[in-house]
A and B are shown apart, each in its own frame.
Chain A
Amino acid sequence: MTLLEELKNAIINVEPKKAEETTHLLLNQGVGAADILNQALIPGMDEVGRLFKEGEYYVPEVLVAAKAMNATLNLIEPLLIQGDVPRRGKIVIGTVEGDLHDIGKNLVSMMWKGAGYTIVDLGVDVTPERFVEAVRQEKPDYLAISALLTSTMLHIPAVIQALQAAGLRDDVKVLVGGAPLSQPFANEIGADGYAADATDAVSLVRRIDLEETGT
């Protein structure tokens, strides 16, 4: 087994310490940060996502796998920036105003991060104004909005309206998710995408990326 495979397995087998040690070994051997990202980290987290989707893994397993992923990312991120390695897109994420729910949002963020995307997490109870401001400043490819309740999901359209009013709606793809949401609701409010869970969220942005840019 190669060291890259060992790192991938350390992520899949939820072993943060081993992931960190193996990353050090890889860097000492001169393996490039881009190879570590593309050949170990992203496929490792993809497998974790698959196991979660299949019901083999639960949130604790995904969180500890994400901890292993972060141990690697912390070591290679400066090298990725230095080497100007192209990253996937940028995603601004937050839970809608009036809603303090963050587990699903955090899980989706971790899976996107594991898939190579840059995440800007606005936290919970985010007003439409803060979402708009973040889109203006961060210029993300995606804006992801989460809600837990039937009542709080009704605040999501206000964010889309605020983006329209600010003239930013066409600059960003709006993605929505959360327990009470559905594809028909996403269609109804004019969102660009809906994901039922964290694994679907990764598939969704990859599909849109492919449609938009062919990559």
Chain B
Amino acid sequence: MMFRRADREPDFENLRLVLQKKAPPRAVLFEFLIGEHKEKKLTGAEYRTDTEFDRVVTTIKAFDSGGYDFAPIIVRGLSFERKTHFVSHAQTKSLNEGSVIVDRRSFENYTWPEIANCDFSIITEAAAYLHPKAKLIPFSHDGILENVIGIVGYERLCLMLYEDKTLVSEIFAEVGKRILSYFQACLPYPEVGAVILNDDWGFNTHTLISPRDLRQHVFPWYKRIVAMAHDYGKCAILHSCGKYDAILEDIFDMGFDARHSYEDGITPVEKAYDALKGRLAVLGGIDVGFLARESAEAVYERSTRMLRRAAALGGYALGSGNSVPDYIPDENYLAMLQAAFDWEKQEGGRV
């Protein structure tokens, strides 16, 4: 099953142009995560999830069908042990659930995941299912701040930042060096076109910890990973939720090529694009709440308007503000894809 037109073939060069802040020859789509039901819709009878490899292949096929020039991939094995209370009907998790590391003793007894647990050969094996011109974009099992919050607990981390700065530094260093090793292992694969560094740094009004603490504990690691990606001639995409005004200069300084995750309640993508264009590619941005609540016609119109806004300067790929969870109506998601397909026919396609 193929949702895109057969002649609209994936080609990573289109996304590469977007990441280089240039205008590609046709509309480019970007998404980080798509819900299972949506993947089923895009793959039809080819939907398989029996094994981890099946899931990877299904994602590749779903992204191909949806008209994307890439597929995201995660290499399992680098998962930081944390306490999670499973609540079957819950749709969210608490950032306070972790608390595996509560003090120096529990830090010293903590079993850190090892990069040797990751089998990176899945990248080559999965690439066999990619369209020949498409690429894979690896991401990690949460980012540096997310993993530290996961194993310490958010409120405990906040207190620890004041009460035991040395321990905080050591925890961030243990997580940071493992995330760095993960991307170091992914980048040499020729099937990898870029990397997504996924780490939620904020919420709707602030960053989760102060910019000063982010600069001390988090950003130096990402600066090294971005530089590493550039050494391989590959781009680095930041997926990070929350308000980012106070750390925008840091995002530029780390060298990121693109930023993903926009919310109307923080900075609508239209405003973000006007502010960032030329300095940072803008990916996605059609607000998840908008996608969930508005009509398919409204989604189609806003998507088309966004493509038109970015047509002259480029550096934009159409997609959701964050991800495509299954509570977004199918017709709304498909309307966004359709806007990209129709744009090429109606307006000459330069975006």
Residue of B nearest to A100 (CB): B94
**Interface-central residue, B87, B91, B207, B209, by most chain A CB under 10 Å:** B91
- Whole-angstrom CA separation of A99 from B89 in the bound complex: 9
Binary flags per residue of B122-166, CB closer than 8 Å to A gives 1, else 0: 000000000000000000000000000000001101110110000
* Residue B170 CB within 8 A of the other chain: no
Q: Kindly provide the distance from the CB of A111 to the nearest chain B CB, expressed in whole angstroms.
A: 13
- Checking B159, B209, B265, B289 against A58 with a beta-carbon cut-off of 8 angstroms, the contacting residue is B209
Q: Does A104 contact B (CB under 8 A)?
A: yes
Chain B interface residue bracket vs A: 35 or more
- In the complex the two chains form, what is the Cα distance from A52 to B293 in whole Å? 31
A121 at the interface (CB under 8 A from B): no
* Known A-B contacts A14-B162, A102-B96, A179-B265; A58 and B210 likewise in contact (beta carbons under 8 Å): yes
CA distance A14 to B162 in the complex (A): 9
Total residue contacts A-B, CB cutoff 8 A: 91
Which residue of chain A lies nearest to B203 when distances are taken between CB atoms in the complex?
A179
Are B87 and A100 closer than 8 Å at their CB atoms? yes
Bound: A98/B203 CA distance, A: 20
Q: Is the CB of B96 within 8 A of A67?
A: no
What 1/0 mask marks residues of chain A from 26 to 39 whose CB sits below 8 Å from any chain B CB? 00000000000000
A101 on interface, CB distance cutoff 8 Å? yes
Query: Which of chain A's residues have a CB closer than 8 A to the CB of B162?
Result: 14, 60, 64
Interface string of B231-268 (1 = CB under 8 A from A): 00000000000000010000000000000000101000
A1-60 residues at the B interface, CB under 8 angstroms: 14, 52, 55, 57-60
Residues of A within 8 A of B109 (CB): none
CB neighbours of B94 from chain A (8 A): 100-103, 124
Bound: A196/B243 CA distance, A:
14
B residues less than 8 Å from A99 (CB atoms): 90-92
**Would you give the 0/1 interface string for A143-154, flagging 1 where the beta carbon is closer than 8 Å to chain B?**
000001111100
Are A151 and B292 in contact (CB-based, < 8 A)? yes
Residue pair B293, A149 in contact (C-beta under 8 Å): no
Within the complex, the shortest CB–CB distance from B35 to chain A, in Å, comes to 11
Q: Is B293 in contact with A103, judged by CB distance below 8 angstroms?
A: no
Q: Which B residues are CB-close (under 8 A) to A180? A: 265, 289
Closest to A152 in B: B91
Kindly list chain A residues whose C-beta atoms are within 8 Å of the C-beta of B206: 52, 55, 58-59
- Closest residue of chain B to A197 (Cβ to Cβ) is B205
Most buried by B among A14, A58, A148, A152: A58
- Residue pair A125, B159 in contact (C-beta under 8 Å): no
Cβ-defined contact, B154 with A151, below 8 A: no
Which residues of chain A are near B93, meaning CB under 8 Å? 100-101
Could you tell me the distance between the alpha carbons of A204 and B327 in the complex, rounded to whole angstroms? 32
| Set of chain B residues within 8 Å of A58, measured between Cβ atoms | 206-210, 213
Q: Given A60-B210, A98-B89, A150-B289, check contact A196 B205 (CB 8 Å).
A: yes
In angstroms, Cα B155 to Cα A103, docked, is 8
The answer on a CB contact under 8 Å between B265 and A182 is yes
Contact of B91 among A55, A106, A149 (CB under 8 A): A149
**Minimal Cβ-Cβ distance residue in B for A59:** B158
Inter-chain contact A98/B292, CB cutoff 8 Å = no
A91-135 vs B, Cβ < 8 Å mask (1 yes, 0 no): 000000111111110100000000000000000110000000000
Residues of A within 8 A of B204 (CB): 179, 196-197
A80 within 8 A of B: no
Chain A neighbourhood of B96, CB < 8 A: 102-103, 106
B interface residues, Cβ below 8 angstroms from A: 85, 87, 89-97, 154-155, 157-159, 161-162, 203-210, 213, 246, 263, 265, 288-289, 292-293, 325, 327
Seed contacts A58-B207, A63-B155, A97-B89; 20 additional CB < 8 Å A-B pairs = A14-B162, A55-B206, A59-B158, A60-B161, A60-B210, A60-B213, A100-B94, A102-B94, A103-B155, A106-B155, A124-B94, A125-B87, A149-B91, A150-B289, A150-B327, A151-B292, A151-B327, A182-B265, A196-B204, A196-B205
Counting from the closest, the 7 A-B pairs by CB-CB distance are A60-B158, A58-B210, A100-B94, A63-B158, A150-B289, A151-B327, A64-B162
